[in-house]
Amino acid sequence: MSIEAKTVAELRSMTGAGMMDAKKALEETGGDLEKAGQYLREKGIAKAAKKADRATNEGRVHAYIHSNGKLGAMVEVLCETDFVARNEAFIAMCHDLALHVSASDPLYLTRADVPLQTVEKERAIYTAQMEGAGKPADVIAKIVEGKLNKWYSEVVLMEQPFIKDEDQTIEEFVKSKIASLGENMQVRRFARFNI
């Protein structure tokens, strides 16, 4: 199957992938742009997983201040080398993360950072909401877990849908950047300020 250059260019603009990666993804998926995008995303996540154990001793602190001067956010993002920390793509990623934090107001970085008593309090609220629903206990437990997962996606930064592409979470966004820049990266912490 022959893949047209304009299709490769369109996939590259959608995903930020390199030309050869985009062409290979289109060949693997029979020229289907959507499937090729998914293929590249899965490949990026696999690449990122291989780099997860590498030390991240460099990075940058990036700040975003909204145009009204009343809202801002700072993020600390780590990477392996100072070369990548100065890279425009890395700086753009840090900016997008700070912008996201200011817009989405996450409370925690990861699920592990959420205090157990806060999780139990939310679970108790969702369980109380289901009382009297006349559903079996196992069904109620699944519904409560579903509501908890939805809550996590609202308050945990790494699980929030990315504001510039709601089809991917912040974690998937960072992993895609790990795949494209070739280094392990991690969001270390963040802060949001609002008047």
pLDDT digits (tens, 9 = 90+) for 14-57: 766 666 777 888 888 888 888 887 877 777 654 555 555 666 67
The whole domain housing 119 covers 115-154
Phi/psi at 94 (5° precision): -60, -40
**Number of separate helices (H) and strands (E) present in the chain:** 8, 5
Which residues are CB-neighbours of 84 under 8 A, at least 6 positions away?
58, 90, 181, 183, 185
Q: pTM of the prediction?
A: 0.71
Q: Are residues 174 and 98 in the same domain?
A: yes
| Structure confidence by residue, pLDDT tens digits, 68-105 | 999 999 999 999 888 889 999 999 999 999 999 999 99
Tell me how many domains the chain contains.
3
Cα atoms in the Cβ-side hemisphere of radius 13 Å centred on 188: 15
101/167 same-domain check: yes
Residues 130 and 140 placed together within one structural domain of the fold:
yes
